[in-house]
Structure 1
Amino acid sequence: MQTNSYADELLETFQWFHRHPELSYEEVETTKKLKALLTAKGITVLDTGLATGLVAQVGTGKQPVIAIRCDIDGLPITEEVDVPYISTVPGKMHGCGHDFHTTAVLGAAYLLKEKEAELPGTVKILFQPAEEAPGGALDVIKTGVLDDVQRIFGLHVTPAQDVGTVGLRSGADSAAVDAFKFTFIGKGAHAAHPELGIDPIVIATNFINAVQTVVSRTMNAFAPGVVSVTHIAAGNTWNVIPETAFVEGTARTTTPEDRALVRSRIVKLAEDIAGAYGATVDTDWYAGPPATNNAPELEQFVAEVAREAGLTPVVREPSLGGEDFAYYEERIKGFFFHIGTGRSHSLHNPKFKVDPAVLYPAACFMAQLAQKVLADPALGVRHD
């Protein structure tokens, strides 16, 4: 797997995906392209019933069964990168590197197909839709296609690492993602006579100030967590106290206990502050993906395979970003790692870009990882 047999082909494929981004659950052309490329190489595409995205399979069709996963959706961002393969779709771009993920895992599928006769088991290859929704992982899980999978691995690019590095961290290397929307309901009045109303703006601002203490005064000081208010809206003119005020934000934590604690504390603050002013509050809490949970016993194994593939393992800095790969890790032991693609603007930025030079090494790494997991009984995978 050390030849550059697919390097040029993968670069061309990556540029096609980059030029044709599609949003979550809209990845129709991406899915068609993937199916055509896979079937042209003789790789089996499973019938899962997914509307977009697909699952391919290489190997014996028997145990042990492992999976490698990528995500395929883009973002609603207008690209501002000066590359010859810039997005051709107005208002959409691959601003989170999913085009890279897709191409690297596609390359791994090609390489595994070449070695199919030597594989002592089965590799399922997930091209997952709607990671940015988020929640596409749940759609894959619902198909049952992963019911026999014993280990799962996924990758993500990062502009915080140099080209050719692989960032590794056991346990939670990303956070549980929760979003809240609160509508404080007061009583409208003339701005000159606030005593005749119940001002929801005052209530909302008191809540916004108070919610900043949830992490600093409720959680353990050594536990990662953050609460951010990101959207407020109230009123529409200068001399009217409005009826309602809207507050929206997110909470990020890394353990189930902290997640439950932070949710209960935020909701209670909203209710109590509203009640103290004689108002009410409508609450809407969205529970997104949990924190990732990378199996500690897999870390050194992944690091060693990375070295063999010519990449450099490094310690991954913890992040409170979210990743729906965590849904898989609730059910299957796995590891999620980060490929350095060169210092750049951040993910989800219109100027974000990756260095495609590491595409083929990443594909080799993923393929070698799959092969070695299947062959290593020390990792606990079951053989028929």
Structure 2
Amino acid sequence: MTAIHVSKESRFQQKLVAIRRHLHQYPELSHEEFETTAFIRSTLKAADIRIVSEFKLETGLIAEVGGLHGGPTLALRADIDALPIQEETGLSFASKHGGKMHACGHDFHTAALIGAALLLKEREHELAGSVRLVFQPAEEKAAGANKVIKTGALEGVKAIYGMHNKPDLPVGTIGIRSGPLMAAADGFLVELEGIGSHAAVPEASVDPVVAAAYLVTALQSIVSRSVSPLESAVVSVTRLHTGTAWNIIPEKAILDGTVRTFDNDVRTRVKQRFGDIVTGVAAAFGAQASFRWLQGPPPVHNDAALAEAAAKVAERIGLEVMAPKPSPAGEDFAFYQQQIPGFFAFIGTSGPHEWHHPAFDIDERALSVSALFFAELAVDELKRFAAER
């Protein structure tokens, strides 16, 4: 399969590059995307793309193309927020906002969706239905998708489609798979309460440091002994905070971290075992334990029929289709998939670094590739859904 050819000189490509670079220079964090929203709105209005005002969002917006002849509605989604990272790319269009950066490529996602909207607008009269364009805030906080859902923006929508850039895939490649693609991303916070003492008199204490050390080790048995080798899970303790001085046994230890799973049954099982182990280890050392389970987004799980349709479109326009390994990263696109059928793809961007790296960047040739793919997918899927009515 020959990868799609992208001209850096095309007017369309240059327009998308300009949009992406503007967004990259002015990143905004989750729930703060006011100027980003205003820029998206003005760009869409300049192309005579209608903003759907009844779906009210404080940041982010919903727009629509098509619907001139009735028909079904589907949705395309991009996330718009940035990360609290100091940029180290050295790009001429690097972030002008200190400590904030589009280090996950949401500027790319937004520009590509604007590009798809522009292509669809050119073909509006031939669309067999409506394409709802979801510019979603606060993905990095796993809060934006639920905000969109609460507006009613998914009501009457047949299916929703989204994507994430993939730095380790070359431009012209798309990762498509049915079933699990990204993980449920949960967190935890454990507090172990003991009795403090002088470090030279440990028998007078209930030492939370020792209990915490055993707990970190014991939690690893969840994956090795409660999850089948044919299944997948990650339990990572990422912070252990305790003590104030070298000669004092403290009263409290705090641990937190993350749990990643790809299956809802495994997710439930891991949570149960986690609670059992925390309670048991604390009791074994005479400590008191409390923990909070921080529920994140569920797994991104692609509808098989949508994945098949996407693969056909990708092949037709010259993309190289491959089956990617599931990613243990989380994505709140999964909340949409709990409401309606959904499909999420990995778009190759030939990036030099992984997501959330301070020198993260993308190959901008992927902009028009992504825009074309999602525009063609929307056209085809509207025809398919219209024929099924």
TM interval, short-chain normalised: over 0.9
1:24 aligns to 2:69 (yes or no): no
8 Å Cα contact 1:81-1:351 kept in structure 2: yes
1:232 aligns to 2:224 (yes or no): no
SS in 2 for 1:293: strand
Amino acid at match of 1:150: K
CA distance in 2, matches of 1:118, 1:286: 46
CA distance in 2, matches of 1:252, 1:150: 29
CA distance in 2, matches of 1:206, 1:185: 14
CA offset at residue 52 of structure 1?
0.3
CA distance in 2, matches of 1:60, 1:320: 38
SS in 1 for 2:181: coil
Q: Which residue of 1 aligns with 2:71?
A: 63
Identity %: 43
Q: Which residue of 2 aligns with 1:51?
A: 58
CA distance in 2, matches of 1:66, 1:10: 23
Q: Name segments (4+ residues, structure 1) moved above 3 Å.
A: 2-5, 380-383
Q: Which residue of 1 aligns with 2:43?
A: 37
2:374 to 362, 366, 383: 366
CA distance in 2, matches of 1:382, 1:112: 22
Structure 2 counterparts to residues 314-333 of structure 1, below 5 A: 314-333=322-341
TM-score by length of structure 1 reads: 0.96
8 Å Cα contact 2:87-2:95 kept in structure 1: yes
SS in 1 for 2:147: helix
1:247 aligns to 2:255 (yes or no): yes
CA offset at residue 5 of structure 1?
4.5
8 Å Cα contact 2:142-2:332 kept in structure 1: yes
Q: Which residue of 2 aligns with 1:76?
A: 84
Q: Which residue of 1 aligns with 2:16?
A: 10
Q: Which residue of 1 aligns with 2:215?
A: 207
CA distance in 1, matches of 2:231, 2:279: 26
CA offset at residue 214 of structure 1?
0.2
Q: Deviations over 1:246-284 (max 9, x none)?
A: 000111111111101000101111111111111111211
Q: Deviations over 1:286-337 (max 9, x none)?
A: 1100001101122232112112233211111111110110001111111100
1:188 aligns to 2:188 (yes or no): no
TM-score by length of structure 2 reads: 0.95
For the aligned residue pairs, the C-alpha RMSD in angstroms reads 1.4
8 Å Cα contact 1:310-1:361 kept in structure 2: no
1:340 aligns to 2:370 (yes or no): no
1:290 aligns to 2:298 (yes or no): yes
SS in 2 for 1:166: strand
CA distance in 1, matches of 2:294, 2:308: 35
CA offset at residue 343 of structure 1?
4.0
8 Å Cα contact 1:151-1:332 kept in structure 2: yes
Q: Which residue of 2 aligns with 1:355?
A: 363
CA distance in 1, matches of 2:64, 2:256: 42
CA offset at residue 19 of structure 1?
0.6
Q: Any gaps of 5 or more consecutive residues in structure 1?
A: none
CA distance in 2, matches of 1:63, 1:209: 57
CA distance in 2, matches of 1:369, 1:118: 14
SS in 2 for 1:63: coil
Q: Which residue of 1 aligns with 2:3?
A: none
8 Å Cα contact 1:184-1:280 kept in structure 2: yes
Q: Any gaps of 5 or more consecutive residues in structure 2?
A: 1-5
Q: Which residue of 1 aligns with 2:104?
A: 96
Aligned residues: 380
CA offset at residue 65 of structure 1?
0.6
CA distance in 2, matches of 1:258, 1:246: 25
CA distance in 1, matches of 2:221, 2:388: 48
